[in-house]
Amino acid sequence: MQIKPGLPWKELPLGGVIDVPGSSVEFHTGDWRSSRPVIDLNKCTGCMLCWLNCPDNAIKIKNGKVEIDYDHCKGCGLCASVCPVKAISMRREALEEEERHGSKHKP
């Protein structure tokens, strides 16, 4: 069963059994991130090493290409560290934010 916050305790599954496999996908760890990986698909050779090594399974495959799942990526930078052609760069979230909103606030 799907357990939502606020569910009365009497309705919780017996023994606190979690019966939705992989339900942690609903918990977004992306907001832990202080740097974000950005993939340059022109450099990417499709070796899939980043996909293989991401501890958070936050690299998805879409039409044969790798793509970051920013809802879950914690910004550890391991993907960038294993990329043999340096196609992944880590960018400070604060700078990204500034670019998006044109803020003059110094990060």
Among 69, 93, 96, 98, binds another protein (CB under 8 A): 69
Site string for another protein, 4-43 (x = CB under 8 A): ------------x-x-xxxxxxxxxx--xx----------
Contact yes or no for 77/37 (Cβ under 8 A): yes
φ and ψ at residue 68, rounded to 5 degrees: -80, 135
Query: In whole angstroms, what is the distance from residue 86 CA to residue 37 CA?
Result: 11
φ and ψ at residue 17, rounded to 5 degrees: -65, 135
Query: In whole angstroms, what is the distance from residue 4 CA to residue 37 CA?
Result: 31
Among 5-13, 17-25, 55-63, 94-102, which window interacts with ligand SF4 (CB under 6 A)? 55-63
List interacting residues with another protein (CB under 8 A).
3, 16, 18, 20-29, 32-33, 46-49, 51-58, 60-61, 69, 71-72, 74-78, 80-82, 90
